[in-house]
Every structure is written in structure tokens, then in C-alpha cells.
Amino acid sequence: MAPPGSNVSDSTGATVDRKRILIVDDHPFMRAGLAQLIDKQPGMMVCGEAGDPAAAMKELEKGKVDLVLTDITMPGRSGIEFIKDLQAMYPKLPILVISMHDEVIYAERVLRAGARGYIMKEAGGENLLAALRRVLEGEVYVSPKMSARFLDNMSGRKPRGSTSPIEKLTDREFEVFQLIGQGKSTRDIAKQLNLSSKTVDVHRGHIKEKLGLQDVTALVRHAVRWVETQSFEGLGE
């Protein structure tokens, strides 16, 4: 992490304002790698780190932050709800999501929640720095692939590339689906999402219908398999 102070001098001796970035990720090695990359940039510095949404909120109370760089799969509150909380409390604070998960499934969801960009961890350091600069300049960042999909959607054409039935789920249904895949019971899901058990059952029904599944057993099997696949994809991160 960069030493205290938000200004440095460039090669001409002029003072450069360094944008202060808070990193939120539950993997210490990932935070360290991101911090090392960012702190080498003359116009950026890491002002704090957090391993979960609760710790991130405490870091934000300590002082000025110009951007939050966050993962969306962490202990505690869901990533989508975390973004919504940030937007409610700090509406002008830009958020860039960096994740191992498929942008086709997550990018549009995080943008709807209030994030200003989505980049996959596999995109590499140069693309991440480009995304950070764009979001800090007030623009939105998604990959060229996702830009093409959004334009196709707007024009009414079929999106390019692979599609997944999971894209049909609403944000709340998607949260329920993920928790089912983690082995949570209806009661546990209801408690975690502050819903009634009846509401969770309604969401289950909608999920089964949208995914073309016959019964709860098939839904649980499908959800567990999907969560395991997502976890497997992240083992190399």
C-alpha cells in the first residue's frame, strides 16, 4: 500500500493528484497483488483494503475514497446487495467490480445495482488499469464482448456469444439460486435475505420454471452443480 499522502510529482516535476482506491476482496494475496499494481501508477494509490463488505464500510468511514474496487463473492452480504448499499450511502462513489465469474452472468446485474464497471480477473493488469482510469474519469467500463451484447440487446437482435438460462433470473432469484447451491435451507435463505419462507418458496418456483426443472430435487442438484463449477473456475485465481 502506498504511504500516506495523495500527491506525487511526475517526470516534469509537476504535482499529480493520486486517486485513492479501496480494494475489497476476501483473498489477501489478491489484495496484495492489486495493491502492488495500482501503487506503481503515478495517478493512483491504494488507501485501504478490506476482506468483506462490513470491513469495507468501516474503511470508508476513515476518510476520502475516490473508487471502490471490489469482488462480488465474499463472506457475509452478497456482492449485489453490497453495491446497492454503497450506492445508497455514497451515491457519487464509483465502483468497479473485478471478479472471476462470467461477465455474461454478472456484468449487467452489477451495473443495474449501481457499479460503473465490470472486469474479469483473467483480463490482466493492463486491462484492469484501463478500466480503473475509465471509471475514474466518470465513464462506464465493460469488455468489448459485453459492449457488443448490450448493443445487440438495445437493437432487439439476439445477443452475440453463448447464453445461459441463468441470465433469465432476476437479481433476487439469482441470489436464492446461489444459496440453494451452497446447501442452504429455505429457512436459512429467508433469514439471510430478510425474506419470509413463503417468499423464498415463490422464488424457488419461478427459478424452476425459468430453468425448465421439474422438481425441487432437480433444482437443488442443478444449483449445487453450478456453484461447484463457479468455485472450480476460481481455483486458479
| Tens digit of each residue's pLDDT (9 = 90 or more) over 22-49 | 999 999 999 999 999 999 999 999 999 9
| Tens digit of each residue's pLDDT (9 = 90 or more) over 123-179 | 999 999 999 999 999 999 998 888 877 776 666 555 555 567 888 888 888 889 888
Listed in sequence order, the DSSP H helices in the chain are: 28-39, 53-60, 79-89, 103-113, 125-136, 144-155, 171-181, 186-193, 197-211, 216-233
Q: What integer pLDDT is reported at residue 81 of this predicted model?
A: 84
Helix, strand, coil shares of the chain, percent, nearest 5, are: 55, 15, 35
Q: What integer pLDDT is reported at residue 79 of this predicted model?
A: 83
Nearest-CA neighbor of 90 among 108, 63, 71? 63
Q: What integer pLDDT is reported at residue 63 of this predicted model?
A: 85
Q: How confident is the model at residue 4 (pLDDT cuts 50, 70, 90)?
A: very low
Q: How confident is the model at residue 14 (pLDDT cuts 50, 70, 90)?
A: very low
**CB-count exposure of residue 209 (10 Å: 0-12, 13-18, 19+):** exposed
| Tens digit of each residue's pLDDT (9 = 90 or more) over 76-131 | 667 888 998 899 899 999 999 998 887 888 888 899 889 999 999 999 999 999 99
Question: What is the spatial distance between Cα 226 and Cα 216, in angstroms, rounded to a whole number?
Answer: 15
Average of per-residue pLDDT values in the chain: 84
Q: What integer pLDDT is reported at residue 13 of this predicted model?
A: 47
Question: What is the spatial distance between Cα 144 and Cα 165, in angstroms, rounded to a whole number?
Answer: 22
Exposure of 159 in the CB half-sphere (CA atoms within 13 A): 14
Question: Residues 100, 121: contact at Cβ < 8 Å?
Answer: yes
Q: What integer pLDDT is reported at residue 154 of this predicted model?
A: 65
In this structure, what C-alpha cell is assigned to residue 152? 445487440
What average pLDDT score do residues 207-221 get? 90
Q: What integer pLDDT is reported at residue 67 of this predicted model?
A: 97
Q: What integer pLDDT is reported at residue 98 of this predicted model?
A: 95
Question: What is the spatial distance between Cα 149 and Cα 162, in angstroms, rounded to a whole number?
Answer: 10
Residue 32, SS3? helix
